[in-house]
Amino acid sequence: MTLPTLSIRITDVVEIILLSILVYRVMLWIRETRAWTLLKGILVLGFFVAVAYALQMDTIKFLVAKGTDLALMAAVIIFQPELRRAMEQLGEKRVLPNIVPFDSSRNVSERMSDKTVNELVKASVEMGKAKTGALIVLEQNVSLTEYERTGISVDAHVTSQLLINIFEHNTPLHDGAVLVRENRIVSATCYLPLSDNMVLSKELGTRHRAGIGVSEVTDSLTIIISEETGQISYAYRGELSRGVSGEELKARLVSFQNKTVDMKKFRLWKGKTKNEEKDSE
Ligand SMILES: Nc1ncnc2c1ncn2[C@@H]1O[C@H](COP(=O)(O)OP(=O)(O)OP(=O)(O)O)[C@@H](O)[C@H]1O
């Protein structure tokens, strides 16, 4: 008996590596999202289907054959937010933008200036002391344009006075969230997606849920000031850090600021953005 000769080309090896990375990334994604629970359900269902196939149960086999396409479509609809987030994360990995330099999501992010960090901290501490409720979202690589559209356009430098004024009770702009891009307040009264995380403390109302919600679906950092307690909190990647001090907030903002340092280098050859021009004026 002659054994078949195996000819492995270099492209086969590359293909195996790429597929392994893809499977690994998909598994990580499943682990981090609601899809994990679904996967466990599918595994149980898969076991029963396998039994049905082994025992030649024709009706079940017929239903499975007809229902697979429908189930795939339903999964895409149900997991639309997670799939969208996964695609956005792929864009954030700085693989595509280096190949496709006109990727618009890159244009909106820049390292915040030290002045902006100080103004944000000052405003948060003062609003905390006065128990003025506030919700401030700081954009990073994922564009917040879709939430910006739900609010009133502002376009002004970040200053503590302006932030305090915006969130002042019974003023037209105090409700909802303020969005900050680079060193500017771009919009106020914005409506954010609420987090549906069941594990969150029942004490947390809609302001906190909205702050966490936007941090789950984007890479933004949200500062939340509680109207009830005056506590300063921040949310990042769905995690809430509650009751932080001014110093702690500042440290967090400084590390947030440093995350995008290399964006400047990237944009040296692209010229100044609209806001950079305004800021340098
Ligand atoms: N989806 C949303 N997007 C943006 N802002 C929201 C959203 N939902 C609620 N808010 C803001 O939160 C305010 C209500 O806060 P609520 O008291 O329910 O929350 P909370 O988390 O308990 O905060 P606090 O500790 O300040 O009371 C609203 O007046 C509004 O300004």
pLDDT (tens digit per residue) in 133-182 = 999 999 988 888 889 989 999 999 999 999 999 999 989 999 999 999 98
* pLDDT of the residue at 241: 94
Task: Give 132 Cα–ligand 1 centroid separation in angstroms.
Answer: 11
* pLDDT of the residue at 145: 86
* pLDDT of the residue at 106: 44
Task: Give 139 Cα–ligand 1 centroid separation in angstroms.
Answer: 20
Q: Is residue 225 within 8 Å of residue 231, measured between CB atoms?
A: yes
Residue 259 is encoded by which pair of tokens?
């995350």
143, 144, 150, 156 alpha-carbon torsion, rounded to 10°: -100
pLDDT (tens digit per residue) in 182-218 = 899 999 999 999 988 877 887 888 999 999 999 988 8
Residue 64 or residue 153, greater confidence: 153
Task: Give 144 Cα–ligand 1 centroid separation in angstroms.
Answer: 19
* pLDDT of the residue at 279: 45
Q: Is residue 161 within 8 Å of residue 120, measured between CB atoms?
A: no
Q: Where are the alpha helices (H) located in the chain, listed in sequence order?
A: 10-32, 35-54, 58-78, 80-92, 96-99, 114-130, 145-148, 160-166, 206-217, 246-258, 261-267, 274-280
Q: Is 133 in the pocket of ligand 1 (CB under 6 A)?
A: yes
DSSP line for 175-226: SSEEEEETTEEEEEEE--PPP--TTS-TT--HHHHHHHHHHHHSS-EEEEE-
Residue 52 is encoded by which pair of tokens?
């049905």
Q: pTM (2 decimals)? A: 0.65
pLDDT (tens digit per residue) in 67-99 = 888 888 888 887 777 777 777 667 665 555 544
Q: Is 208 in the pocket of ligand 1 (CB under 6 A)?
A: yes
> Does position 100 have pLDDT exceeding 90, yes or no?
no
Distances (CA, A) of 268 to 4, 23, 103, 181, 265: 56, 36, 15, 19, 5
pLDDT (tens digit per residue) in 231-271 = 999 999 999 999 999 999 999 999 888 654 444 444 444 44
Task: Give 177 Cα–ligand 1 centroid separation in angstroms.
Answer: 9
* pLDDT of the residue at 65: 85
* pLDDT of the residue at 267: 43
Q: Is residue 140 within 8 Å of residue 109, measured between CB atoms?
A: yes
Q: Is 192 in the pocket of ligand 1 (CB under 6 A)?
A: yes
Q: Is 232 in the pocket of ligand 1 (CB under 6 A)?
A: no
CA distance 29 to 203: 30
Nearest atom in ligand 1 to 213's CA: 1
CA distance 46 to 172: 55
CA distance 65 to 230: 57
Query: Mean pLDDT, the chain, as a whole number?
Result: 82
Q: How confident is the model at residue 131 (pLDDT cuts 50, 70, 90)?
A: very high
* pLDDT of the residue at 159: 96
Residue nearest to atom 5 of ligand 1 (CA): 176
Q: Is 195 in the pocket of ligand 1 (CB under 6 A)?
A: no
Say which residue the tokens 């609209």 belong to: 274
> Does position 109 have pLDDT exceeding 50, yes or no?
no
Q: Which of 207, 216, 222, 227 to mutate to test ligand 1, by most ligand atoms within 8 A of the CB atom? A: 207
Grouping H, G, I as helix, E, B as strand and the rest as coil, residue 77 is helix
Residue nearest to atom 25 of ligand 1 (CA): 226
Domains identified in the chain and CATH numbers: 11-92 (no CATH), 108-261 (3.40.1700.10)
Q: How confident is the model at residue 14 (pLDDT cuts 50, 70, 90)?
A: very high
For 185, list phi and psi in degrees, rounded to 5: -85, 120
